[in-house]
Amino acid sequence: MGKVKANSTSHFLRRIIVGISLLCSFLLVDSAFSAPPQTIEMLIEELQDADKEVRAKAASKIVPLGQKARAAIPALVAAFRKDPYYTSFPNAFVAIGAPSVTPLMALLSDKDADVRRKSIAALGRIGEPARESIPHLRKALSDSDIFVRDNAVKALRNLGAIETALPDLIGALKFGDWTCSSIAQSIAATRLPKVKRKVALKAFGDLAKDGNARAQVWALYGLAALSEDPEPHVDALIRLLALRRGQFAETDRQELRQRLPASLVPKQGDQYHLVRKDAALALGLLGERGKKAVPALRTAADKDPHRLTRLQALMAIKSILKPNSDPKR
233-249 tens-digit pLDDT: 999 999 989 877 545 44
Confidence band, pLDDT 50/70/90 cuts, at residue 125:
very high
- Read off the pLDDT of residues 307-324 as tens digits, 9 standing for 90 and up: 899 999 999 999 999 754
Q: What is the mean pLDDT of the chain?
A: 83
- Read off the pLDDT of residues 62-78 as tens digits, 9 standing for 90 and up: 999 999 999 999 999 99
Q: 169 and 24 share a domain?
A: no
Report d(CA 247, CA 101) in Å as an integer: 48
Of 178 and 101, the one with more pLDDT? 101
Of 16 and 139, the one with more pLDDT? 139
Q: Assess if residue 200 is contained within a domain.
A: yes
Q: Once rounded to an integer, what is the mean pLDDT over residues 267-281?
A: 75
Domain count of the fold of the chain: 2
Q: 23 and 169 share a domain?
A: no
Residue 25 has pLDDT above 60, yes or no: no
**pTM for the full predicted model:** 0.75
- Residue among 121, 111, 112 nearest 90 (CA): 121
Report d(CA 206, CA 203) in Å as an integer: 5
Q: Assess if residue 171 is contained within a domain.
A: yes
Q: Assess if residue 79 is contained within a domain.
A: no
The pLDDT value recorded for residue 63 is 93
Q: Assess if residue 21 is contained within a domain.
A: yes
CA distances from 5 to 1, 10, 13, 18, 79 (A): 6, 9, 12, 20, 66
Q: Assess if residue 324 is contained within a domain.
A: yes
Q: Assess if residue 75 is contained within a domain.
A: no
Where in the sequence is the domain holding 248, given as residue range(s)? 162-329
